[in-house]
Structure 1
Amino acid sequence: MKKIILFIALCLVNLRLYSQYKEFHPGEIWKDNKGIHINAHGGGVLYHHGTYYWYGENKSENSNNALVGVMCYSSQDLYNWKNEGVALEVSDSKESPIVRGCIIERPKVIFNERSRKFVMYFHLELLDKGYAAANVGIAIADSPTGKFTFLKNSRVNAGKYPLDMTKEQKESTSTVADFKDWWTPEWRKAVEDGLFVRRDFMGGQMSRDMTLFVDDDNKAYHIYSSEDNLTLQIAELTDDYLNYTGRYVRVAPGGHNEAPSVFKKEGTYFMITSGCTGWDPNAARLFTSDSIFGPWKQHSNPCNGDGADLTFNSQSTYILPVAGKKDAFIFMADRWKPKKPSDGRYVWLPIKFENGLPVLGWLDQWGLNVFN
C-alpha cells in the first residue's frame, strides 16, 4: 500500500510539473515536464496531428558545440513541454560529418505529405573547421520524435546561378582577389553584383543561419544566410524535400542579414531577420514580398518600445503559426549566453499587425487569449 501511495504521489508531482504554466514568461527559465530548463536553442516548431514539436540545439554548460545533438519537446498547449529526448544524435565516429564536437545550429523539421517522412535541415560546421564549411545537413525520420537518421551534408545548388542574377553579373570577371580592402563602396557593389556567388558557383553556395518554410501548395523552401553572411538566399526544394530543384534567389544582396524567420498572411510573405553582430543582439529587420521568390522590400524595425533597438535582447529563430487561430503568429527568439550556453533563454512574443505590417512589443507575461 505504501508503494502505491508513493507511486500516486510521484505521478501527481509529475503532472503538476508538466502543467505548471498557463502563460508565457519571455526571457525567464522555462522548465520542461522534468523540471529542467528547456534545452532547444535556435529552434523551430512543427505542428502535427494535434501536437506541437519543438526542435532545437542541445547546448552544454560550457560549449556551444554539438556534444549531444538536436532535442525534441512536445506540447498540446504551447506552454508546457514534455522532453522527448534526443531527436538527432551526434556520432562517435570521426568519419561522420556530425561527429561529437561539430557545430549544429538552427534545426528545423517539416513533414512531407507524399513520403510521410519527417525531414530535418540544420546548419552544419565540420569538427575543428570553425565556420568555414557553411554546410546544410539533412536528416529523416518516420516519427516526429525520431530517431532521425543523418543523410548527407553539402553546400547549396552547386553549378547553379540564382534566378534573379543578370547575364552581365554571371559573366563578370571580377573576383575576390581584385579587392585588397573589403567594406569599401566598390567592394560592396561587387558583392551586390554576385562576387561571392561566382566564387562559390562550382562548390555550392554557403548556408549558415537558416529556416524552412512550407507554402500553401506544399512546396518547401530553404532560407539561409549565404555569401559570407552578406546575402540571404531562398532555395526551392524537390517534392520529397531532400534535394534542391536548382531554383533560388538572393534577398537583400550585401545587406548582412542572418537569423531568417518566415511566415505568410493573406498572400503576403513576411520575413524577420537580424543583423550580424555575433552573439550580441541588434535591431530586427523586416521584409515583405508578394512572391516567395521576391522581389523583397525592406521595412523599418518591427519592434516597438523599450528594448526595440536590440530586439528585446534576443535574435529571431522562427515564426510559429498557432493552430486553430486565424492570423495568430508567435515570434520565437533566443537570448544567447555564450559563457553558459545551456542557460540561454527564450523570448516568445505575439505578432500584432498595424497597417498590414507585423509589430512586436515587449510583454512580461502573456497568453494565447491575446489572439482572440
Structure 2
Amino acid sequence: MKSLFGLLVIFACAYTNAQAQSLSDKHRAFQPGEIWTDTEGVHINAHGGGILFHGGTYYWFGEHKTDGRTGNRAMVGVSCYSSNDLLNWKREGVALAVHEEGSGSDIEKGSVIERPKVIYNEKTGKFVMWFHLELKDQGYNAAKTALATSDHPTGPYEFQKSLRPNPETWPINFKKSWKKKTITEKELEGWSDEWKKEVAEGLFIRRDFQTGQMARDMTLYVDDDGKAYHIYSAEENLTLHIAELTEDYLGFSGKWAVIEPAGHNEAPAVFKKDGKYYLITSGCTGWEPNAARSFVADDLMGPWTSLGNPAVGEGADLTFDSQSTFIVPVQGKKDAFIFMADRWRPENAIDGRYVWLPIQMKDGRPVLEWQDKWDFSYFDK
C-alpha cells in the first residue's frame, strides 16, 4: 500500500507540475516578429492568413509553408488554428489539402496557394474559402482566384473551382468612352506618363475583358448587411479591384469597381469604423517589404481617398519589415482592431514571422506604431 501511495503521490505531483508548466507556457502578450508557438510549442504555420470569428471561437487560416525557398509552393495546403483569446492557438490541422502530384488538379501539390480567407454564409450554413491560386509550373501567369467550401469551420474544405473574376463585365466606375479605346501595350512605353494614364483608363481591363480580370493578393470582407466582397490585386498588380460576391458567396455578382487605378497596390486589408471603410495595402516589391498605404471611403465601391502611410516611427518606411494580410476586429472591445502582417523569409519560407500590431485612430486615419510587446490593455487607454 505504501508503494502504491507513493506512486500516486508521484503522479499527482507530475500532473500538478505539468499543469503549472502549461499555464506558464501560455502566451499573455503579443510579441511581433518573434517565434509564435501554438499550444503544442510549435511555430504557427499559417502565413498570409485571415481570421474567422464563429461561435465564440477565432479561426486562423493561412498558407502552410515548408523548408527552403521552394517552401512557398503549396506542398501541404491551408492550415487552420483555433483560439479563444487570439494569443493561444490550437492546431486544427490542414483545412484544405493539396491534391496528389500529377493529378492535373488546379491545386495539385506544387501549385501556389496564397492568402486564404474564410467567411461564413448565414443563409446556406456553408464556410466559404477564397484564395489566390497560381497553377503548377506556370509561375505567376495564371493570376486566378479559387474557391473551396466546407460544412465545418476547421474543414475539410472541398475545392470547387478556380477562375478569373468578372469576364465580359465592366466596372461600375468605368467611363463609357474608355470602353471604346483601341490602344494596346505595344504602342506604349512602359511606366511613361502616357502609359500610366492609359492603365488608369482601362488598358488592362480591356485586354482581359473576355477572359476575366487577373486576381492575385486578396482579402474578403462581409459588411453589416451580410453582403460579401472580394478585394484583389489585378491588372498586373497595378490596380485593386473590389467585387461583390453572390448571396451564397460562391461567385461574383457582376458588380465591381477599381480602386487606385495604376497605384501599384497589393496585400489589401480592410476594416470599418463609425460608418467609414479603411483599407491598408502595400506597394509591390516581391518578398521585400515597403511602405504601407492607407485609404478611406464612405462606400466600399469608392471613391477612396489616400491617407498616406499608416506606419509611424522607426521602421515605418518598411512597415516594420512586414506586409499586411488582414485586420482583426477584437470581439468584446469597441473599436479595437489588430493589423495582421507577415515578415517573409523567402530563403526559408517556414521561418516566416508574424507582426500583429494594434491600430490607433488619430485625426481620422489609422496609425501603426511598433510595439516590442503588448496586450489587450492597450485598447483600454
- The TM tier, using the shorter chain, reads over 0.9
- Kept in 2, the 8 Å contact 1:42–1:57? The answer is yes
Matching residue of 1:89: 97
Which stretches in structure 2 are left out of the alignment for 5+ residues? Answer: none
Instruction: Report which of the two structures shows the higher radius of gyration computed on alpha carbons.
Output: 2
Matching residue of 1:195: 203
Give, in angstroms, the shift of residue 173 of structure 1. Answer: 1.0
Give, in angstroms, the shift of residue 174 of structure 1. Answer: 1.2
Matching residue of 1:159: 168
Question: Is 1:55 aligned to residue 61 of structure 2?
Answer: yes
Question: Is 1:125 aligned to residue 131 of structure 2?
Answer: no
1:127 aligned partner, one-letter code: K
Cα deviation 1:176-231 (Å, max 9, x = unaligned): 2322x311111111101000000000000000000000000000000000000000
Residues 1-372 of structure 1 aligned to structure 2 (within 5 Å):
5=11, 9=15, 12=18, 16=22, 20-62=26-68, 63-92=71-100, 93-179=102-188, 181-372=189-380
3-state SS of 1:109 partner: strand
3-state SS of 2:317 partner: helix
Change (3 A) 1:35 1:332: same
2:250 aligned partner, one-letter code: L
Distance 2:21 2:241 in 1: 44
Question: Aligned pair count?
Answer: 371
Cα deviation 1:103-148 (Å, max 9, x = unaligned): 0000000000000110000000000000000000100001110000
3-state SS of 1:206 partner: coil
Distance 2:38 2:29 in 1: 14
Give, in angstroms, the shift of residue 67 of structure 1. Answer: 0.2
- Kept in 2, the 8 Å contact 1:116–1:142? The answer is yes
- Kept in 2, the 8 Å contact 1:275–1:284? The answer is yes
Distance 1:7 1:37 in 2: 29
- Kept in 2, the 8 Å contact 1:18–1:33? The answer is no
Give, in angstroms, the shift of residue 33 of structure 1. Answer: 1.1
3-state SS of 2:72 partner: coil
Distance 1:12 1:208 in 2: 45
Change (3 A) 1:74 1:185: same
Give, in angstroms, the shift of residue 171 of structure 1. Answer: 1.0
Cα deviation 1:295-329 (Å, max 9, x = unaligned): 00111111111101100000000000000111000
Query: Structure 2 length as normaliser, TM-score?
Result: 0.94
Give, in angstroms, the shift of residue 61 of structure 1. Answer: 1.0
2:126 aligned partner, one-letter code: K
Distance 2:14 2:105 in 1: 45
Give, in angstroms, the shift of residue 11 of structure 1. Answer: 9.7
1:61 aligned partner, one-letter code: D
Distance 1:17 1:174 in 2: 65
Distance 1:61 1:81 in 2: 22
3-state SS of 1:333 partner: strand
Cα deviation 1:258-307 (Å, max 9, x = unaligned): 00000000110000000000000000000100000000011111111110
Give, in angstroms, the shift of residue 166 of structure 1. Answer: 0.5
Give, in angstroms, the shift of residue 19 of structure 1. Answer: 5.3
3-state SS of 1:191 partner: helix
Cα deviation 1:74-106 (Å, max 9, x = unaligned): 000111000000000000052210000000000
Cα deviation 1:214-256 (Å, max 9, x = unaligned): 0000000000000000000000000000000000000000000
Distance 1:144 1:267 in 2: 29
Query: What is the aligned-residue RMSD (CA, Å)?
Result: 1.8
3-state SS of 1:21 partner: coil
Give, in angstroms, the shift of residue 371 of structure 1. Answer: 1.0
Give, in angstroms, the shift of residue 12 of structure 1. Answer: 3.0
State the identity %. Answer: 57
- Kept in 2, the 8 Å contact 1:235–1:244? The answer is yes
2:18 aligned partner, one-letter code: L
3-state SS of 1:198 partner: helix
- Kept in 2, the 8 Å contact 1:43–1:106? The answer is yes
